[in-house]
A = this chain, B = another copy of it.
Amino acid sequence: MTNTLLRDEDIAYQLRETAQQLRVDAIRCSSAASSGYPTSSMSAADLIAVLLARHLRYDFGHPDAPGNDHLIFSKGHASPLYYAMLKTAGAITDAELLSYRRAGSRLEGHPTPRLPWVDVATGSLGQGLPIGVGLAKTGRDLDQLPYRVWVLCGDSELAEGSIWEAAEQAGYERLDNLTVLVDVNRLGQRGPTRHGWDTGAYARRFAAFGWHTKEIDGHNVMEVDAALKAATHHAVQPTVILARTRKGRGVKAVEDRGGAHRMPLTDPDEAIRELGGERDIRINVTPPPLDLRPRRFQASPSKLPAFETGSMAATRTAFGQALAVVGDLRPEVVVLDGEAADATRTEFFADAHPERFFECYVAEQQMIAVAIGMQVRGWIPYASTYAAFLSRAYDFIRMAAISRASVRLVGTHVGVAAGQDGPSQMALEDLAGLRAVHGSTVLYPCDANQATRLTATLADVSGISYLRASRGDTPVIYGPDEEFPVGGSRVPRCSPDDQVTLVAAGVTVHEALAAADLLADDGVSARVIDAYSVKPIDAATLRQAASETGRIVTVEDHWPEGGLGDAVLEALADGAAALPVVQKLAVRDMPGSATPAEQLQLAGIDMVSIAAAAVDLVAGRGTG
C-alpha cells in the first residue's frame, strides 16, 4: 500500500484492512507464544494503522536518523501490536514475529531497545508519556529538529501520578510536537477503570493542564485520521486524542469482556477467521527529510577546578563547579535539577550554560524521564537533587537500566551527616537502591578534588551511574591532579605491619583517618582504604588488605543493608578463599535532628567508634 491519491472510501478501506492485519498478527504471535496481551492490542489497532500509514515519518532502515519521529508504546503490554506494526512496516519478518516471547528473541514480552526501533523499555505503566515529553522537549529545545513524538497510552495508566507530572510540563512548556493517543478501552487488568468510556473526564483534566484535546471513536479510521492531522497542525499546545475503543475489538468472544486481559485467545483460528483471515499488507512508511542535522553546541577550552590540599570544601560544591567546566569541555552535557539547584550546586552549571540546564521543579520522576529522553538523542544528562528524593524515581531508574539508558544521577545531602534537617532529608538507603540497578556505577567521593575528577569521569560512563555528594565541608586530602578511575580505590594509610583495615567512603574516610591516628596512639597499626568506587569496588585491593591484615572494619553513613559494607563483603566472597573477620559499622537507629558531628557520633560511625571497633577486632572480641 502506498499513499497515492485515493478517494476517502478507498483510504478508509485500506486503513481498516491494515488494522485487521495488525489484530490478526497480534493474535498469531501471542498464540504462538501461549502468552501475552492480544486484547489490549486489538483495541488500539486502528489508531496505530492510521498513524503508521498516514502520519508517522520514520525510516525503519535507519532507526538512528536524526529526523525520525519517535513512537513510544507507553502501554508496553500492547507489544503484540507493536511487533505486528514492525512487520507491516517491513522491519521484521513474519518468522521473527512468531518468535515473540521465546528465549533469545528480540521480541520480548514488553518492548525493549534490544530492537533498534525501540527508544526505551516500557512495561511499567505511566513511563512512556513522561519520556515522550522529554523527547519532545529534546526535539524542540536541544536538537531543534521537526520530528514529532507520538505516544500510545492506555487509559488505566492515566491513574499514575507520573502521567500528570508529564502533562504539567508538556502543557506549561507548550510542546506542540507531542501527540498522545489514549486507547480508552475502559478495562484494566482486573476490571473497569475509574472513568470507563467517559473520555470527557480525561479531556477536562488534560485541558486544565494546558493541552489540546480531541475525543473520538477510536475504531473510526477517518475520525482517527482527522484527529491525527489536527494534532499535527495544532500549534502552541500538545494534543491528546482520547479514543473510545473496545478491548478485543473484532472478536466476539473477547470484545469488551472483563477477565480477558492477561491471556492469549482460546480459539485463535476462529478469531482470525472472524477478522477476515491473514493479510499481507506492507506499508511504506514515509521517511523524514534526509538532510536534517541536530543542533549541537560548541566545546570551549576550560580547566577543572582545583582545591588546595588541607582546605575545606563540600563535595557537592566541587561537583557543581566541576560540572560547569564539564559543560564547557563536553557540549553534549545537559543538566536537570529538581528545584534544588542552590543546594545541589548545579546552579554553577545553570549560570554557565543556561541553554543546557533544565529546571524540572519538584517532580523527580519527570526529571529522570526527561533525562532518559535526552540520552535517546545522544545528549549526556546529569540529573540531580537531594539523594533522598531520587528514591521517588526508583521505578524510572530501574526501567532506565532495562532501556540501556545512560543517565548520571547526583544525590546530595547524604547520610546522617546532612545534620539538622532530620531523616526525611537524609539518604540512608541510596547506596542499596542504586547498587541494585543492573549495570550501575556508584561513586562516593570524600574530598573536593576527588569529587571534581569523578564528576568529569561520569560523562563517559555508560549505564546508570550515581555520584553521592555530601552537604558539609570535608578536608581536601588529595591533590588536584590525582586520578580516580572507576573501579579503583585509594589507600591513604598503609604499612606492611597493619593489623586491621578500615574501609570507608565519603565522610567516613576522614573519620577513619582520624581513627587510625587514635589507634596509632594505642599501638595499633591500621590501614585505611577509601572505597570511593562503591560499585564496581576495588576487589583486588580489598583482598590484599584482607590477606595482609586479617581484619576489616567497614564504616558507612548509610543503613547496614546494601551499602559499602555489603559491597566489601561481596567482593571478598569470591568462592576462592575464606573471608577475614569483618565488622560492619553503619547507621542502625533512626536519626533525629542534630549537628553533623553529633549525628556521626550518635550513629556510631565517628572516629571514636571506628577506633573502638578496630581495637575489639585486634583483641579478638567481636561485637556482632
Contacts of A340 in B (CB 8 A): 189-190
Q: How far is the CB of A591 from chain B (nearest CB, A)?
A: 9
Residues of B within 8 A of A624 (CB): 573-576
Tell me whether B395 and A35 are in contact (CB under 8 A): no
Instruction: Output the least CB separation between A488 and chain B (Å).
Output: 19
A116-144 near B? 1/0 per residue, CB < 8 Å: 00000111111000000000000000000
What is the CA–CA distance of A394 and B535 in the complex, to the nearest angstrom? 21
Q: Counting CB contacts under 8 A, is A236 at the interface?
A: no
Residue A494 lies at the interface, judged by CB distance under 8 Å to chain B: no
Within 8 A of B (CB), among A196-219: 204-205, 207-209
Question: A392, B124: Cβ atoms under 8 Å?
Answer: yes
Q: Which of B123, B125, B421 contacts A421 (CB 8 A)?
A: B123
Residue contact B561 to A436, C-beta cutoff 8 Å = yes
A4-12, A507-515, A581-589: which lies at the interface: A581-589
Contact A424 B121 (CB under 8 A): yes
Contact yes or no, B424 A102, CB < 8 A: no
Give Cα A425 to B110, complex, Å: 9
Supposing A123-B422, A161-B165, A436-B561 touch, asked if A575 and B362 sit within 8 A by C-beta, the answer is: no
CA distance A224 to B599 in the complex (A): 41
Q: Is the CB of A437 within 8 A of B429?
A: yes
Given that A190-B341, A436-B562, A583-B573 are known contacts, is A103 also in contact with B594, CB under 8 Å in the complex? yes
Q: Does A156 touch B at the CB level, under 8 Å? A: yes
Provide the residues of chain B in CB contact with A91, threshold 8 Å.
Answer: none
* Stretch of A297-305, A452-460, A615-623 with 4 or more beta carbons under 8 angstroms from chain B: A615-623
- Segment at the interface with B among A283-291, A325-333, A397-405, A475-483: A397-405
A172 interface hit (Cβ, 8 Å): yes
Interface 9-residue window, one of A55-63, A177-185, A373-381, A563-571? A563-571
Within 8 A of B (CB), among A408-426: 419-425
Shortest CB–CB separation between residue A120 and chain B, in angstroms?
11
* Cβ-based interface call for A97 (8 A): no
Contacts of A123 in B (CB 8 A): 421-425
Asked if A465 is at the interface of the complex by the 8 Å CB criterion, the answer is no
A524 at the interface (CB under 8 A from B): no
Question: Would you call B570 and A581 a contact (CB within 8 A)?
Answer: no
A402 and chain B: residue at smallest CB distance: B423
Tell me the residues in window 537-573 of chain A with beta carbons closer than 8 Å to chain B beta carbons. Answer: 550, 559-563, 565-567, 569-570, 572-573
Q: How far is the CB of A115 from chain B (nearest CB, A)?
A: 11
Is the beta-carbon distance between B361 and A102 smaller than 8 angstroms?
no
The digit string for A347-384, where 1 denotes a CB below 8 A from any CB of B, is 10000000000010111011000000000000000000
In the assembled complex, 21 residue pairs joining A and B whose CB atoms fall closer than 8 Å, in A order, are A108-B423, A108-B592, A124-B388, A124-B389, A161-B363, A168-B194, A172-B194, A262-B343, A391-B395, A401-B590, A428-B436, A432-B432, A432-B436, A432-B562, A433-B436, A436-B562, A565-B573, A569-B573, A575-B583, A578-B581, A579-B579
For the complex of A and B, 3 pairs with smallest distance between CB atoms = A574-B624, A576-B622, A161-B161
Given contacts A109-B422, A190-B339, A435-B561, 7 further A-B contacts (CB under 8 A): A101-B593, A108-B593, A110-B421, A123-B425, A204-B208, A261-B342, A575-B584
